[in-house]
Structure formats: structure tokens, C-alpha cells
């Protein structure tokens, strides 16, 4: 009896969380022009209109570029920082570590305003580059956390063995350390990409005039009217932010599996 209630309650909780998502996906295929119930017919109409919507396509390209660059820069910096913190005795390494993680702990709004005021103070104009740097700052902690955890698990003597066999320190990094680190590097890059792709708070503060990412574009569209195109866009976003990490996780698992086979 008790368990039946628990199961029922759990089901309700999941419905509450996922039903809206399902509704968005469902409505995106709705032929009805108001994008609301009842569903009057199955249609790709809104996807077609979406594909023809110049601002959205531009925002999409911006988001992809921003996400990809954030992932590359964040991962590179994160791997280097983790290497320094884990493999070498850096004075104040605890402090540096905390500093790198801090952007997760500070509310994003505070971080966003702070960076904006700081740029103002320096008289630096908002630009795509500054937006990118902002995204790097708050995706870096995720990369550092994931990579550091894995790096601690890679024994130093494996690297020492490689060097004793004739590999230079750089060769050792690329032939031994990096392949062993790959699942974490991959996961970190994926984190960075999805977080950047999803972000709206920081982006609203930092984006220069005329530049829109997908989330800010949706936000702008919602202020005017609720177009069914937003449902279609929602479906595409869901595919990207759920599908891409899932595929990525599968790849990461295969990489890790290959090593521990």
C-alpha cells in the first residue's frame, strides 16, 4: 500500500517535470497557427518557417560558434590548470583551486553584473570576445573539477615509466597522459558546450548590441508574442542539449571502457 503511494507520487513528480517538455515537442508539430491545444494536425510547418527565420538562424550560428569556442578554450585552460595543480607543487595551489571553482559558487547574476561593471571600469566595450571570455569563466570550473578528479587517478609512475623508456615530457603528455585523460577532457568539453549553449543570464548582460544567442533570441521573441516557431525552436534545443550530451556520454563511456578492458 505504502509503496504504491510512493510510486504514484514519483510518477506525478516526473510528469510535472517532463510533461511541459513533451508538450513543447508535441505542439511544435501542431498545424494550428496559435500553437496551442487542441492539436489540429501533424505538420513540419513551424520547422520550415523556423529554417526561414533569418534572426533565429543567425542566433543559432552565434550560439554554436560561442559554445564551440567556449568548449575549446575552457578545456584547454582547464587541462593545463589541472596539470599544474595536480602534478606540480604550485605555491598557493589550494587558493588557486578555490578561485577557479568560485564562479560556480557565486550567483550568476552577481558574476554577470560584476564583469560588466569591471569592463565599464576598464572602458572596454562589450564584444563577442568579451562574451566568450565570460562564458569561459563560468564553464572553467566544470572542466577543472572533472579533469582534476581523473588526473589524480592517473598514477605518476606511469608517466615516469614512459620517460624512462625514452619519451620526452611532451611526448609523455600526448602519448600517455592525454589518452588516459581523454574521457574527462571530452566530458569537460561537453559540459562547457552545453552550459554555454544554454546560458541566458550572463549572456544578456555581456552580449554586444545586435548579437543574439538562441536563448536571448527566444527571450526577445517571447516579449512580442508567442509564436509556434518557439515550440519548434524548443524542440531543436531539446535535441541539442539532451541529444548531444547523451551521444557524448556514450562516446566517453566507450573511451573509458576501452582503457579498462
Partner 1 sequence: MSAVKLQNIEKKFGDFTAVHPMSLEMPEGSFVTFLGPSGCGKTTTLRMIAGLLDPTSGDIFVGDRQINDVPIHKRNLGIVFQNYALFPHKTVADNVAFGLKHRNVEKAERERRIREALELVQLPHLAKSYPTQLSGGQQQRIALARAIVIEPDVLLLDEPLSALDANLREDMRVELKRIQEQIGITTVFVTHDQSEALAMSDILVVMSDGRVEQVGDPKEIYSNPTSRFVADFLGTSNILKANQVVKDSKRGLEADAAGFVPMQDTQLSKLEGCNTAYLVIRAEKMELLAKDAPSDERLSLNGTVEAVDYQGQLVRYFVDVAGTKFQVLNMLTGNTAFNEGDEVSVRFHASDCVAVGENN
Check residue 166 for interaction with partner 1 (CB under 8 A).
Answer: yes
Distance of CA 249 to the CA centre of its chain: 13
Please, which residue, 68 or 154, has the CB nearer to partner 1? 154
Q: What is the dihedral of CA 106, 107, 110, 113, to 10 degrees?
A: 110
Stretch that binds partner 1, among 74-82, 100-108, 158-166, 233-241 (CB under 8 A): 158-166
Q: How far is the CB of 178 from partner 1 (least distance, A)?
A: 10
Distance CA 200, CA 162 (A): 45
CA distances from 2 to 7, 10, 11, 12, 15 (A): 9, 12, 14, 16, 20
Distance CA 122, CA 117 (A): 9
- Contact with partner 1 (CB under 8 A) among 124, 163, 226, 242: 163
C-beta neighbour count of 206 within 10 angstroms: 22
- Contact with partner 1 (CB under 8 A) among 133, 176, 200, 238: 176
C-beta neighbour count of 122 within 10 angstroms: 8
Check residue 161 for interaction with partner 1 (CB under 8 A).
Answer: yes
Distance CA 24, CA 81 (A): 41
Check residue 149 for interaction with partner 1 (CB under 8 A).
Answer: no
Q: How far is the CB of 144 from partner 1 (least distance, A)?
A: 23
Check residue 158 for interaction with partner 1 (CB under 8 A).
Answer: yes
CA distances from 174 to 159, 169, 182 (A): 11, 9, 10
Check residue 195 for interaction with partner 1 (CB under 8 A).
Answer: no
- Contact with partner 1 (CB under 8 A) among 168, 220, 222, 226: 168
Check residue 113 for interaction with partner 1 (CB under 8 A).
Answer: no
Check residue 261 for interaction with partner 1 (CB under 8 A).
Answer: yes
Please, which residue, 13 or 158, has the CB nearer to partner 1? 158
Binding site for partner 1 (CB under 8 A): 155, 157-158, 160-169, 171, 175-176, 179-180, 258-261
Amino acid at each position: 500500500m505504502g509503496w504504491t503511494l510512493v510510486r504514484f507520487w514519483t510518477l506525478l513528480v516526473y510528469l510535472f517535470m517532463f510533461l511541459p517538455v513533451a508538450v513543447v515537442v508535441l505542439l511544435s508539430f501542431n498545424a494550428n497557427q496559435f500553437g496551442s491545444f487542441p492539436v489540429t494536425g501533424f505538420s513540419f510547418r513551424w520547422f520550415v518557417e523556423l529554417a526561414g527565420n533569418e534572426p533565429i538562424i543567425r542566433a543559432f550560428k552565434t550560439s554554436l560558434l560561442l559554445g564551440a569556442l567556449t568548449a575549446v578554450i575552457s578545456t584547454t585552460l582547464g587541462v593545463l590548470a589541472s596539470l599544474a595543480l595536480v602534478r606540480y607543487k604550485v605555491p598557493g595551489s589550494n587558493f588557486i583551486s578555490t578561485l577557479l571553482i568560485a564562479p560556480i559558487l557565486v550567483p550568476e547574476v552577481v558574476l554577470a553584473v560584476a564583469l560588466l561593471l569591471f569592463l565599464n571600469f576598464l572602458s572596454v566595450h562589450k564584444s563577442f570576445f568579451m562574451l566568450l571570455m565570460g562564458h569561459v569563466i563560468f564553464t572553467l570550473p566544470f572542466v577543472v573539477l572533472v579533469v582534476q578528479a581523473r588526473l589524480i587517478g592517473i598514477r605518476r609512475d606511469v608517466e615516469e615509466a614512459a620517460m624512462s623508456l625514452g619519451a620526452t615530457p611532451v611526448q609523455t603528455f600526448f602519448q600517455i597522459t592525454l589518452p588516459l585523460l581523454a574521457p574527462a577532457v571530452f566530458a569537460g568539453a561537453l559540459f562547457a558546450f552545453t552550459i554555454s549553449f544554454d546560458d541566458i543570464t550572463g549572456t544578456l548582460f555581456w552580449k554586444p548590441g545586435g548579437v543574439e544567442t538562441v536563448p536571448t533570441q527566444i527571450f526577445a521573441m517571447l516579449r512580442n508574442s508567442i509564436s509556434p516557431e518557439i515550440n519548434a525552436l524548443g524542440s531543436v534545443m531539446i535535441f541539442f542539449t539532451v541529444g548531444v550530451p547523451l551521444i557524448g556520454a556514450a562516446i566517453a563511456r566507450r573511451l573509458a571502457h576501452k582503457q579498462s578492458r
